[in-house]
């Protein structure tokens, strides 16, 4: 998994509340088990019309936000079904950080397993970041995981809280498999010992 340390990039404003996982990645795109390739379908029903043309008014279709790395969103982001394809699509699009007043628990935890930093902040601080994001591509936001800060384009620093274990995993690029592989030597030693003690197994 890609490590997350610090990013400085464009933030896209998406003030909608209750954005569910079916809005993030509709059900017809859940046939794959690959983590790549879903970015083109991110927010499909909001990004494209029935003929497949782009809806110009949708934030990620606007030229200044096409390469956004941060998404500033409304409350209860990622609610609905527990599909892990939702963070897959967000990451594949290029977004590495989602900031919102609150997240659905399963989506929140799935973000950490896929190299995305979800930051929960009080509404008044999200409002400050939303206004900064509305400035477009000239306003670049910095997210520093080590320092646990978000810095606006005007230099305002907003601290955030994060679980220390989740922070460690993101900084080191460790998903569940990576965490297991950290114990590879211990696992191998156990298997060798077990085979010697119980050769009939």
pLDDT of residue 180: 59
- At the topology level, CATH places domain 6-197 in Aconitase; domain 4 (3.20.19)
Alpha-carbon gap, residue 85 to 30, rounded angstroms: 7
Comparing CA positions, the residue from 131, 83, 127, 112 lying closest to residue 174 is 112
Alpha-carbon gap, residue 115 to 4, rounded angstroms: 7
Phi, psi of 155 (to 5 degrees): 90, 5
Residues of the chain with pLDDT under 70: 176-186, 188-190, 192, 194
pLDDT of residue 178: 61
Q: Which residues contact 160 (CB under 8 A, 6 or more apart)?
A: 119, 120, 121, 148, 149, 150
pLDDT of residue 138: 85
**Would you kindly state where each structural domain of the chain is located, as residue ranges?**
6-197
On whether the CB atoms of residues 48 and 54 are closer than 8 A, the answer is yes
Q: Report how far apart the first and last C-alpha atoms of the chain are (Å, whole number).
A: 35
pLDDT of residue 30: 87
pLDDT of residue 174: 86
- In this prediction the pTM is 0.88
Q: Which residues contact 194 (CB under 8 A, 6 or more apart)?
A: 201
DSSP 160: -
Alpha-carbon gap, residue 192 to 188, rounded angstroms: 6
């Amino acid at each position: 998994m890609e490590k997350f340390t610090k990013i400085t990039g464009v933030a896209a404003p998406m003030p909608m509340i209750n954005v569910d996982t079916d809005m993030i990645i509709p059900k017809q795109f859940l046939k794959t088990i690959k983590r790549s390739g879903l970015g083109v379908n991110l927010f499909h029903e909001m990004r494209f019309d029935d003929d497949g043309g782009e809806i110009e008014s949708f934030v990620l279709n606007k030229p200044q936000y096409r390469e956004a790395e941060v998404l500033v969103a409304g409350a209860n982001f990622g609610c609905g079904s527990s599909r892990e394809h939702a963070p897959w699509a967000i990451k594949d699009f290029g977004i590495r950080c989602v900031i919102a007043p609150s997240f659905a628990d399963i989506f929140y935890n799935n973000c950490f397993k896929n190299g995305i930093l979800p930051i929960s902040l009080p509404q008044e601080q999200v409002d400050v970041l939303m206004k900064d994001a509305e400035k477009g591509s000239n306003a670049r936001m910095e997210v520093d995981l080590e320092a646990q800060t978000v810095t606006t384009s005007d230099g305002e620093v907003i601290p955030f809280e994060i679980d220390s274990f989740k922070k460690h995993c993101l900084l080191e690029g460790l998903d569940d498999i990576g965490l297991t592989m950290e114990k590879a030597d211990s696992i191998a030693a156990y298997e060798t010992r077990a085979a010697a003690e119980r050769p009939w197994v």
